[in-house]
Amino acid sequence: MSHWPTTSPKRIIPPEPRRAPNRTHRALVLVPGGGHGCEQKRRDHGAHRRSGSQVGKGGSRTGIRHRLRDLNGNDVTELSRFHDRCSEETHYRRFLTAKPRLLVREAEQFCNVDQHRDGAIVALDPDSPDKIRGVGRWFGVDATSAEVAFAVEDDYQGCGIGRSLVSTVIALARSVGFTILIGYVLADNRAMRYVLRTSGYPLVEHYDGPGVLAFSLDVSGETTLAA
Ligand SMILES: CC(C)(COP(=O)(O)OP(=O)(O)OC[C@H]1O[C@@H](n2cnc3c(N)ncnc32)[C@H](O)[C@@H]1OP(=O)(O)O)[C@@H](O)C(=O)NCCC(=O)NCCS
């Protein structure tokens, strides 16, 4: 019998300023990555990762740049490869269940977005522009709410890609009329919860099951982030 509550009081978290922001993000353009702080941040956050994760392979990731573009129907194969390059931990954090493989039919469904009711963007590595390094998406739930989800390839985590995916998905979802963005996150997912808390919009969290938080971001108003 689980001791976790299946529901809990909602916790309303007003937008929180980020710790020492050191870069700007612009949707759909080349974005400077974590710069000089990136490798240190990866070391700082590395202690929270399982020993089996792939973090640290591939040498220094300082100065990462990435380009964001819409996901499209030609990305089916590369989306599966991206999934294969991500660790079991990243799969679990993204899908809240083990997800060792993305079936072709699933990859096709994920790529079948109209960028309106359902949309997705990918972060590409300008040094290997055929490689997807991160994905952010929204799925329309009703006329005003959409569910969002994000994943960044392990070797590229902690370098700013997640934050630019989140801010761009928020901007795109707002632009097509969504005012509430919902989602699910493991309670120990500090990175995702921090990005949401500091996204510039009010966040509500409550337990939705053992170790899982449901969140809701009210993006109806203006952002509290400086332009
Ligand atoms: C969550 C995830 C998308 C974040 O992407 P990312 O590229 O690693 O995140 P960023 O490098 O943009 O970091 C964003 C912020 O979180 C902070 N952060 C990163 N890891 C952190 C950690 N373990 N604890 C606390 N803060 C952390 C960073 O310092 C950064 O803050 P800053 O922009 O103010 O400097 C990515 O780690 C991931 O794919 N995780 C696995 C899948 C997942 O958890 N998906 C979420 C389910 S919806």
CATH for 205: 3.40.630.30
- Per the domain annotation, does 4 fall within a domain? no
C-alpha 5 to ligand 1 mean position (Å): 26
What does the pLDDT profile of the chain (227 residues) look like in tens digits?
344 445 567 778 888 877 654 333 333 333 434 433 456 555 555 533 332 222 222 223 444 789 999 999 999 999 999 999 999 999 999 999 999 999 999 999 999 999 999 999 999 988 888 999 999 999 999 999 999 999 999 999 999 999 999 999 999 999 999 999 999 999 999 999 999 999 999 999 999 999 999 999 999 999 988 76
Tell whether ligand 1 has an atom less than 6 A from the beta carbon of residue 183.
Answer: yes
**pTM of the full predicted structure?**
0.84
Q: Give the residue numbers spanning the domain of 147.
A: 11-218
C-alpha 162 to ligand 1 mean position (Å): 6
Residue 23 zone, left/alpha/beta (φ > 0; ψ -120 to 50; rest): beta
- Per the domain annotation, does 26 fall within a domain? yes
C-alpha distances in Å from residue 77, one per residue of 14, 108, 121, 164: 40, 9, 16, 24
C-alpha 154 to ligand 1 mean position (Å): 11
User: Strand, coil or helix: what is 95?
Assistant: helix
Number of domains in the chain: 1
- Per the domain annotation, does 172 fall within a domain? yes
- Per the domain annotation, does 176 fall within a domain? yes
CA-nearest of 213, 207, 210, 215 to 7 is 207
Atom of ligand 1 nearest to the CA of 163: 12
- Per the domain annotation, does 37 fall within a domain? yes
Tell whether ligand 1 has an atom less than 6 A from the beta carbon of residue 61.
Answer: no
- Per the domain annotation, does 136 fall within a domain? yes
Atom of ligand 1 nearest to the CA of 153: 39
For ligand 1, atom 1, name the residue with the nearest CA. 192
- Per the domain annotation, does 225 fall within a domain? no
CA angle, corner 193, sides to 92 and 191, nearest 5?
65
